[in-house]
Amino acid sequence: MNSELKKERDISVFWFRRDLRLEDNTGLVEALRSGFPVLPVFIFDTNILEELPADDPRVTFIYRQLQKIHGKLAAAGSGLRVFRGDPVQVWKHMLSRYRIKEVYVNKDYEPYAMDRDRAVADLLEGHGIRFRPFKDQVIFEEGEVLKQDGSPYTVFTPYKRKWLETFRERPSLSVTGEAVTGFLPGSGSLPGLEAMGFQPSAIHVRPYDLSRIRDYPQVRDLPAEDATSHLSPHLRFGTISIRKVIAGLAPSDEVFLSELIWREFFMQILFHFPKVVNQNFQPKYNGIHWKNDPVDYRRWCEGRTGYPMVDAGMRQLNATGTMHNRVRMVTASFLCKHLLVDWRMGEAYFASRLLDYELSSNNGNWQWAAGTGCDAAPYFRIFNPAEQQKRFDPELEYVRKWIPEYGTPDYPDPMIDHKFARERTLSAYKKGIESYLPGG
């Protein structure tokens, strides 16, 4: 960044977070309307990064997106400023270098992000600087789809009904174009990935393909088809806006729209009930005695359970950072309800691997699979992984792709009998519920 521009003029700052695009970016559009030249910044947050390996594929993906944004801005005579550190300390540094009048962001609804934003907002306001957050990553945020009494929904179907009703009452979605003008002049250069302490990952995020949405209802449960849109990591990191996705849906795409509404349902659950981060949504399950056998857990992580659908899914996850949604349900159910391993351990493993990891959805879906969450599968619903394989991968295409030794002596026998596991789980859950009840 040109040194002569520092402290010489009033500016606004737009802080990129999980909105890595110049197109249809609400907070960015508002910043460019501020009347001040806009300095765009991104902070690699060490509070998060310290828990990740240097070659985490999500970090590589973020960096590649920042390169694209910087390249477009540089072509227009500006550029992106990238920092690495604790956000509050980075903002203190920026306050010493720039005459900042306003800071624009898009809201993030996760507990850590809200705490971070409060700390940054307090710092800025102490210097007379406005911190201006905007809704961007959702159609409806926490206070917009509520029951008549103002309380949040905890069951999906009525939430979806109200969501759709509210959506029909609003004007048509407005999608803004790409913004490359109105930024602070002086492009500078983007620091290299390695210079910031990262290493390129061999795992890549695939481009999204919205044309695949048309076939979603027919192929959504068939993992061998590899016919999904690959949209989820792009929504997670905001390389496409939710408004653009929904604006492009046809009336026949209601099944896909329902999945997007699930995303917002879990987001508002996390906002209203932050305890779910590490507690059961339904306290009656707090008394479950999880077995948590480390050998069982390791075999599940490595895809060596002897149940092909489970093992194929875990190997796909380990190799690519992705897993088909149907298989996610099967693998999660197997860990909790066959091996009696606490859902929090499975959630943590998925969090470390999934390219589309999002706290609200990961947590909500794991608690759904374990039966401990809001609107969850009942505890006595236990997937039979062998039957799931016969139904959704009858020709073993998916299984053979990820388990080359399948059908040979090198592939292990099932590590646990399904009937035995089912009866053991039913007993453990019943005892857990009884211990929670008064007199238990």
Shared domain check, 216 and 93: no
Q: How confident is the model at residue 359 (pLDDT cuts 50, 70, 90)?
A: very high
Distance CA 126, CA 282 (A): 41
Averaged over 171-177, what is the pLDDT?
A: 87
Torsion of CA 414, 417, 418, 424, to 10 degrees: -130
CA distances for 131 relative to 6, 21, 120, angstroms: 20, 20, 8
Distance CA 417, CA 439 (A): 34
> What pLDDT does 104 receive?
98
- Of 272, 302, 325, the residue at which a domain comes to its end is 272
With respect to residue 2, please indicate whether it lies within any of the assigned structural domains: no
- Of 115, 137, 159, the residue at which a domain comes to its end is 137
Residue 376, pLDDT above cutoff 80: no
Shared domain check, 349 and 390: yes
CATH of the domain at 19: 3.40.50.620
Shared domain check, 378 and 232: no
Averaged over 374-381, what is the pLDDT?
A: 83
> What pLDDT does 433 receive?
93
> What pLDDT does 2 receive?
42
Residue 108, pLDDT above cutoff 80: yes
What is the domain range of residue 287? 277-433
Shared domain check, 426 and 309: yes
Shared domain check, 284 and 416: yes
Residue 365's nearest CA partner among 263, 217, 440 is: 263
CATH of the domain at 213: 1.25.40.80
Q: pLDDT tens across 62-82, in order?
A: 999 999 999 999 999 999 999
Catalytic residue numbers, as ranges: 259, 262, 290, 325, 343, 366
Q: pLDDT tens across 251-287, in order?
A: 999 999 999 999 999 999 999 999 999 999 999 999 9
Q: How confident is the model at residue 439 (pLDDT cuts 50, 70, 90)?
A: low
Distance CA 90, CA 88 (A): 5
Q: How confident is the model at residue 7 (pLDDT cuts 50, 70, 90)?
A: low
Q: pLDDT tens across 362-372, in order?
A: 999 999 999 99
Residue 55 DSSP one-character state: T
CATH of the domain at 340: 1.10.579.10
Distance CA 176, CA 174 (A): 6
40 forms bridges with which residues in the sheet?
A: 14
CA distances for 400 relative to 136, 205, 308, 394, 434, angstroms: 41, 23, 9, 11, 43
Shared domain check, 36 and 143: no
Return the exposure string of 311-339: e unless at least 16 CB atoms fall within 10 Å of the residue's CB, then b. bbbbbbbbebbbbbebbbbbbbbbbbbbb
Which stretches of 18-126 are DSSP H helices? Answer: 26-32, 46-49, 57-75, 87-95, 111-125
Shared domain check, 218 and 154: yes
- Give percent of the chain with pLDDT exceeding 70: 98
Number of domains within the chain: 3
Shared domain check, 344 and 248: no
Q: How confident is the model at residue 357 (pLDDT cuts 50, 70, 90)?
A: very high
Length of the chain: 440
One-letter amino acid of 23: E
Shared domain check, 405 and 289: yes
Both tokens assigned to 320 = 């690519």
Residue 212's nearest CA partner among 199, 201, 226, 222 is: 226
Q: pLDDT tens across 183-202, in order?
A: 999 878 899 999 889 999 99
Both tokens assigned to 52 = 């990740």
